[in-house]
Amino acid sequence: MAEAKKKISPLYRLVESAVRFFYPKMELVGLNNLPEGPSVIVGNHTQMNGPIVGQLYIPGNRYIWCAGQMMEAKEVPGYAYQDFWSQKPKATRWLYRILAYLITPLAVLIFNNAATIPVYRDNRMLTTFRLSLEKLKEGARIVIFPEHDVKGNNILYEMEDGFVSLARMYYRSTGEKLRFAPMYIAPRLKKVLFGEPVTFDPSRPIEEERQRITREMTERITAMAVALPRHRVVPYRNIPKRLYPYNTVSEDKNHETTRG
């Protein structure tokens, strides 16, 4: 029996229309690199920009991995404060604690009505992979932002590699090799770049494939960023804008970069 189509809240449609109107128009570069049919797009999170770009600009049928906590009213305040604002100056953190509660109704509305798949870090992670596999088998793209709070280079924080296991599940279920396409979002330049995809190799141990594909995504996203004109990179963490790094090769102690 076919799954019933999700009913979208009219209020959400109004919110999305407002975001689409006010959010800067982005230029999409390298769309020809996106594989046709089921695939995974791996991008830099760029704070709120990643999910917005995923919802508004990724063409075709796509679903975005999002933190499951942002879909549950009781979990939003704690998660939002810790993930978005915990590194704000101590003197203002109390304001952000209040803000985390104020945004809860809006967050629940958005993340439960947008094209999302909840991501969990406990035994519910199986639900994340099951839903993702279902969407891939329907021909959809999955959009993920796997950075976590471990500093990498001046373009990306380090990526968690668990998402690669989705390719093994897909291969076992369909016999087809899943492809991963890198994406770099440059809000300051109003550009979204897509790079050449990497194909999962089922003949290799999954641990090696997790490392290889994560490394390839990191290198390709970084290369796309560095090749662009000089600009400030919007980082994973919500740090002061004056500390946003530049898209250059090496990084100094002030988080700004030079070309050696």
**Hey, is 105 helix, strand or coil?**
helix
Q: Whole-model pTM above 0.85?
A: yes
Q: Give the per-residue pLDDT at 187.
A: 97
Q: Are 145 and 40 in contact (CB under 8 A)?
A: no
**Hey, is 30 helix, strand or coil?**
coil
Q: Are 155 and 221 in contact (CB under 8 A)?
A: yes
Torsion of CA 72, 78, 83, 84, to 10 degrees: 100
Task: For residue 258, give the amino acid letter.
Answer: T
**Hey, is 12 helix, strand or coil?**
helix
Handedness of CA 193, 117, 148, 141 (dihedral sign): negative
Nearest-CA neighbor of 200 among 228, 235, 165, 231? 165
Stretch (H or E) spanning 5: none
Give the domain ranges of the chain. Answer: 24-67+116-258
The per-residue pLDDT string of the chain (260 residues; one tens digit each, 9 = 90 and over) reads 445 567 899 999 999 999 999 999 999 999 999 999 999 999 999 999 999 999 999 999 999 999 988 999 999 999 888 888 887 788 888 998 999 999 999 999 999 999 999 998 777 888 999 999 999 999 999 999 999 989 999 999 999 999 999 999 999 999 999 999 999 999 999 999 999 999 999 999 999 999 999 999 999 999 999 999 999 999 998 888 899 999 986 544 444 433 33
